[in-house]
Amino acid sequence: MDLSELVADTREMVECESPSADLDAVARSAEVVARVGERRLGVAPERIVLEGRTHLRWRLGTGPSRVLLVGHHDTVWAMGSLASHPCTVEGDVLRGPGCFDMKTGLAMAFHAAAGQDGVTVLVTGDEELGSPSSRGLIEQEARLAEAALVLEGAAPGGALKSERKGVSLYDVAVHGRAAHAGLEPERGVNATLELAHQALAVALLGDTGLGTTVTPTAARAGLTTNTIPADGVFAVDVRVRSLAEQDRVDAAMRSLAPVLDGATTHVTGGPNRPPLEHAASADLLERVRAIAERLGQPVVPAAAVGGASDGNFTAGVGTPTLDGLGAIGGGAHADDEHVLVDRILDRTQLVRSLVAELLAAPTTLAGSAHWSRP
């Protein structure tokens, strides 16, 4: 394994821009990622196009797939970002749009999986949009695997992501009755006031002790300043650490009732990603820490994070999952996105050793490797 090759592979992928919303750009990026992956893995990937988006899958070896490596090649960066944020290596820092989230992780996945029998590498093209077309594919592959390793960038300090909050997304629509705001406001049912009542009720559903946040976000009501508004809507972002909390909040959201006489409410949406709970990652985390000690690497910290990834989906179907195994750096989605070059090689060696250990373990009966939610 060679650091210069890891860096060269990363640069090749970073220098092909791949904003999620641009289908042509994602398709071009898929070809570059396929070329890099084929060079390291020795075989071409399957190209899976779903809803116009290109995903890549490598099945390695002759035996059944036991370990799933997960990544994505789409980014949040708009076309033309390379002009202002070129891919550079200065000293120990690699920069460029998508280098941390998560094209370095893709290079690491290819080098970690090379030559290993029983590994599937899945690289999707719509993760930054919430994986609308690839979710079913991710869940399908996870059900076949005994472990899922997600090569997203590490948490601060190189921490692995042993927990990720689940996400639910809602729209709360309220309906009242329009009236002239100056002549006869009493004839109206004010959607703005009903919206305020509902937003306050929703905000109270959070539980800081359990790490549950329920946040009203974008809102609108009415069309003109001199009219009692008849309609309004606001969005709600929910983050939870457990499936039980996701279910509790969902039930509460669906039981919202109007406060004002004559008003009605309508809630749409629901859970978007299940949580990656600690129980799903605990065994893999202990394995990684033991391997790091054997390799003479620093102690590997772990972190619970609020952001979601495709690891939420793999854990959601019961597959043991460990996330944040990719690059060490920071600045995801921001001007200072970067990767620490001197940590790429040791992290890749760690992932490769973990894959080898998992493959060397006795094959489990179908489903017995999967963890059970409490």
pLDDT digits (tens, 9 = 90+) for 299-324: 999 999 988 899 999 999 999 999 99
pLDDT at 365: 38
369 in a domain, yes or no? Answer: no
Helix segments in 226-310, DSSP class H: 243-254, 278-295
| CATH code at position 247 | 3.30.70.360
* Residue that terminates a domain, selected from 273, 294, 316: 273
Task: Verify that 348 and 286 share a domain, yes or no.
Answer: yes
**306 plus 195 within the same structural domain:** no
Q: Which of 74, 126, 128, 141 is catalytic?
A: 74
Query: In sequence order, which residues have a C-beta less than 8 Å from that of residue 61 and are 6 or more positions away?
Result: 116, 117, 118, 119
Residue 374 lies in a domain: no
According to the model, what pLDDT value does residue 64 have?
Answer: 87
User: Which H/E stretch holds residue 336?
Assistant: none
How many domains is the chain built from?
Answer: 2
Largest CA distance in the chain: 79
- Grade residue 370 by pLDDT with cuts at 50, 70 and 90: low
Give residue for tokens 């202990």.
286
Strands 46-50 and 53-60: antiparallel
**Mean pLDDT (whole number) for 218-244:** 96
Q: Do 263 and 194 meet the contact criterion of CB atoms below 8 Å apart?
A: yes
Which of the four pLDDT bands, split at 50, 70 and 90, describes residue 117? very high
Residues 70 and 156 in one domain: yes
> Is residue 314 located within the same domain as residue 346?
yes
Same domain for 131 and 258, yes or no, is no
Residue 284 lies in a domain: yes
Do 254 and 283 have their domain in common?
no
The CA distance from 284 to 277, in Å, is 13
Query: How far is CA 235 from each of CA 177, 221, 227, 332, rounded to the nearest angstrom?
Result: 21, 12, 23, 24
Residues 88-114: tens digit of each pLDDT:
999 999 999 999 999 999 999 999 999
Residue among 17, 101, 126, 127 flagged as catalytic? 127
* Domain stop point among 252, 273, 294: 273
The domain in which residue 330 lies consists of 3-164+276-360
State percent of the chain over pLDDT 90. Answer: 94
Could you give the CA distance from residue 25 to residue 17 in angstroms, rounded to a whole number? 7
Mean pLDDT of 255-280: 96
Token representation of residue 168: 């639910």
As a whole number, mean pLDDT of residues 278-301 equals 96
Choose one of 225, 242, 273: the last residue of a domain: 273
Are residues 66 and 205 located together in one domain of the fold? no
Q: What is the pLDDT of residue 275?
A: 96
Kindly state whether residue 347 falls inside one of the protein's structural domains: yes
CA atoms of 126 and 294, how far apart (whole Å): 37
227 in a structural domain: yes
pLDDT at 364: 56
Give a yes or no: residue 244 inside a domain. yes
CA 293 to chain centre: 29
The rounded distance, in Å, linking the Cα atoms of 40 and 32 is 13
CB 94 within 8 A of CB 7: yes
* Per-residue pLDDT at 1: 85
Q: Kindly state whether residues 143 and 284 are assigned to the same domain.
A: yes
Residue 86 lies in a domain: yes
Q: Is the pLDDT at 70 greater than 90, yes or no?
A: yes
User: In the annotation, is 74 catalytic?
Assistant: yes
Whether 366 is in a domain gets the answer no
More confident residue, 131 or 1: 131
Does residue 157 sit in the same domain as residue 170? no
Q: Say if residue 238 is in the same domain as residue 285.
A: no
Question: What's the CA gap between 267 and 174, in Å, rounded?
Answer: 9
Q: Is the pLDDT of residue 233 over 50?
A: yes
| Token digits of residue 343 | 């940590």
31 catalytic, yes or no?
no
Task: Please report, to the nearest 10 degrees, the dihedral formed by the alpha carbons of residues 96, 97, 100, 106 taken in order.
Answer: -100
Residues 38 and 130 in one domain: yes
CB-based burial label for 223 (10 Å; 0-12, 13-18, 19+)? exposed
pLDDT for 366 beyond 70: no
Q: In the predicted model, what is the mean pLDDT of residues 259-270?
A: 98
State pLDDT tens for residues 130-157: 999 999 999 999 999 999 999 999 999 9
Collapse the DSSP code of 150 into the 3-class scheme (helix H, G, I; strand E, B; otherwise coil) and give the result: strand
57 and 202 belong to one structural domain: no
Q: 168: Cβ–Cβ under 8 A, 6 or more apart, which residues?
A: 236, 238, 240, 246, 249, 250, 253, 269, 270, 271, 272
pTM comes to 0.88
Alpha-carbon span 329 to 308, nearest angstrom: 18
Residues in CB range of 20: below 8 A, 6 or more apart: 26, 74, 75, 76, 125, 126, 127, 128, 129
pLDDT value, residue 62: 87
pLDDT at 258: 98
What pLDDT, on the 0 to 100 scale, is given for residue 371?
A: 52
Domain containing 12 — which CATH number? 3.40.630.10
Task: Give the model's confidence band at 25: pLDDT under 50 very low, under 70 low, under 90 confident, else very high.
Answer: very high
Mean pLDDT of all residues belonging to the chain: 95
